A and B are shown apart, each in its own frame.
Chain A
Amino acid sequence: MHIPDGFLDGKTAGTTAVLSVAGVALALRRVRLDLPPRKIPLLGLAAAFLFAAQMVNFPVAGGTSGHLVGGVLVAALLGPSAAVVVVTAVLTVQCFLFADGGVLALGANLFNMAILNSFGGYAVFRLVARCLPGERGRLTAMAFAGWCAAVLAAIACAGELAWAGTVAWAVGFPAMATVHMLIGIGEGIISALVLLAVSRTRPDLLAENSPATPPPRAGEWLGYGLLVVLGIAIFIAPFACPWPDGLEAVAARLGFEHHAAPVLSAAPVAGYRLPGIHWAVGATALAGAIGTLTAFALALLLGRLLARKPSPDA
């Protein structure tokens, strides 16, 4: 999902860069205040771990294989702010050392994978883990959060590409969402299995059990939540929403809409409104809801299966 250079224009790259600088600054500040100096090398080692873990290939049907992305897993293991710093380090090194992901697109990649993926996934993880107590609940939460984070980051990526005018929303969104709904299943299963392995071997290392990493504070939730909402409002909402956007509404009210009419009618799809768009939006929403419910049911099943079984490497 690394966006290369050349896929984003100036405005998209700039906006995402501002959002991710704010997010990373917030994460660094929280980590500096909350993390004891003892734990600082752990951030670097966790980043190296994430890099090495991404090289372990899991066999999927038909000779293909997939690998862990791991932002949400690190968030569950170390807490959200530490995860944002760790994933930022990984993405920066991938960008500058291995040319994986663009330099000017680094802002967008950071926003999708460090902030949306890690924090968005962590929020889902906490929410589900609070509703379902015990080990079973925690594994279910991990699997579901891994799936949600993969899909959320993919949709944001499609929105950014559409805003930059590289890949049309009508093409990019279904492709990215479908592929990552499948990839997300693998991500969720691997995350839950790894969390299980860690919690069976060294339960003291988990963020919620160790006194060294306090639970996120209100300011942290508020800051990241604001960034996530801003990102969704800028990159996803204008494309996904069937209502006319603010500018169109103002234009209609002030009555200068007809001035723009020649341009609009010359465009292949006037005003983005395909015939039958209301039905299409409803169908997309329905498909999304069914997909999410299925993923949650699968996560519940996985949590039940894993929590009952003895440790895989006992």
Chain B
Amino acid sequence: MNLQFHQLPAGHASSVIHRLPAGVKLGATLGLVGGTVLMPLADQWWFAGTAALLLIIAGLSRISPGFLLTRILALSPLVLGVALVNACQATGRSHWLGVAERSLLCLLTVTLAANTTPFSGILRVLQKVRVPGLLITTIALMHRYLFVLADEAGRMRRARASRTFTRTRRFQWQTLSSVVGQLFIRASERAERVYEAMCARGWQ
């Protein structure tokens, strides 16, 4: 996966769906995913209803359909892989169709929720449902520094590439590993600075 893939779509941050409270959206997501996974496949009305509801939400949220489509295609290699394996077996075909249907619906649900809810909103909901504070602090810090460190890794790799000739594969592995090691060292040095900054701002 590359970084472009992880970036969230810009603009259109003011649709009806975006303005809904995060708790409502997360609750609805859980409900839809749970229902889709647990409903027996015979109840096709549930799946049709969910699909229709998701399409309406996608329309209201004004996220471009192309973005949603590429996101879902990029996330489903495992689904497609299992499809191939099961397609070779004579008996499992209808069962597999059910699995694919469920996976795609859940994927669409989570993608829609994630792209219309700010991350701080998700954290606040986690706090409200009593997820331990240490885990929330970790997740919040991770989200804050994820893009910083990913950029840093990219810069370090570029600096390496512009200074060294990539002779053999073994040499490449060693340089890439030392980039990763250096990234860890820089992350832990940054963590010390972050701790001092947090204390200076009255943390705990």
Contact = CB atoms under 8 A, between A and B. Distances in A.
Interface of A: 2-10, 13, 24-25, 28, 31-32, 37-49, 51-56, 58-59, 68, 77, 85-86, 88-90, 92-93, 95-100, 102-104, 166-167, 171, 175, 189-190, 193-198, 201-202, 205, 268, 312-313
Contacts of B89: 171
Contacts of B85: 167, 171, 175
B33 interface: yes
Given A31-B134, A48-B141, A41 B195 contact: yes
Contacts of A103: 29-30, 33, 106, 110
A49 B139 contact: no
B173 A90 contact: no
9 contacts: A37-B195, A45-B187, A51-B149, A58-B173, A96-B110, A166-B82, A193-B181, A202-B185, A202-B188
B202 to A, nearest CB: 14
Contact of B33 (A10, A104, A190): A104
Contacts of B175: 312-313
A143 B30 CA distance: 39
Contacts of B181: 193-198, 201
Taking chain B's interface residues, is the majority helix, strand, or loop, or is none over half, making it mixed? Answer: helix
B44 interface: no
A40 B133 CA distance: 11
B198 interface: yes
Contacts of A4: 75-76, 78-79, 103, 106-107
Contact of B82 (A8, A100, A167): A167
Closest 9 CB pairs of A and B: A44-B141, A197-B181, A6-B102, A193-B177, A5-B106, A6-B103, A47-B142, A42-B191, A48-B145
B46 to A, nearest CB: 13
Which of B135, B142, B190 has most A Cβ within 10 Å? B142
A45 B190 contact: yes
Interface stretch (B1-9, B12-20, B48-56, B57-65): B1-9
B172 interface: yes
Interface string B148-189: 111011000100000000000100111111111111110110
A194 B177 contact: yes
A55 B157 CA distance: 11
Interface of B: 1-3, 6, 29-30, 33-34, 36-38, 71, 75-76, 78-79, 82, 85-86, 89, 91, 99-107, 110-111, 113-114, 119, 122, 132, 134-135, 137-146, 148-150, 152-153, 157, 169, 172-185, 187-188, 190-192, 194-195, 198, 204
Contacts of B169: 59
Contacts of A46: 184, 187-188, 191
B182 A197 contact: yes
Contacts, number: 236
Given A38-B195, A88-B135, A56 B182 contact: no
Given A45-B188, A175-B85, A313-B178, A85 B183 contact: no
Instruction: Determine which residue in A48, A54, A55, A88 has the highest number of CB atoms from chain B within 10 A of its CB, and name it.
Output: A48
Nearest to A47: B142
Given A41-B195, A102-B103, 11 more contacts: A5-B107, A10-B37, A48-B187, A51-B150, A77-B184, A99-B107, A102-B110, A171-B85, A193-B178, A195-B181, A312-B178
B141 A55 contact: no
A190 B38 CA distance: 40
Nearest to A35: B134
A81 B110 CA distance: 29
A99 B173 contact: no
The interface centre, meaning the residue of B104, B134, B190 with most chain A CB atoms within 10 A of its CB, is B134
A242 B137 CA distance: 46
Given A4-B106, A28-B132, A97 B143 contact: yes
A93 B143 contact: yes
A10 B102 CA distance: 13
Contacts of B107: 4-5, 99
Given A48-B141, A198-B181, A40 B146 contact: no
A52 B150 contact: yes
B148 A89 contact: no
A6 B122 CA distance: 23
A51 B106 CA distance: 23
B177 A48 contact: no
B182 A55 contact: no
Contact of A96 (B102, B122, B134): B122
Contacts of B138: 40, 43-44, 47, 85-86, 89
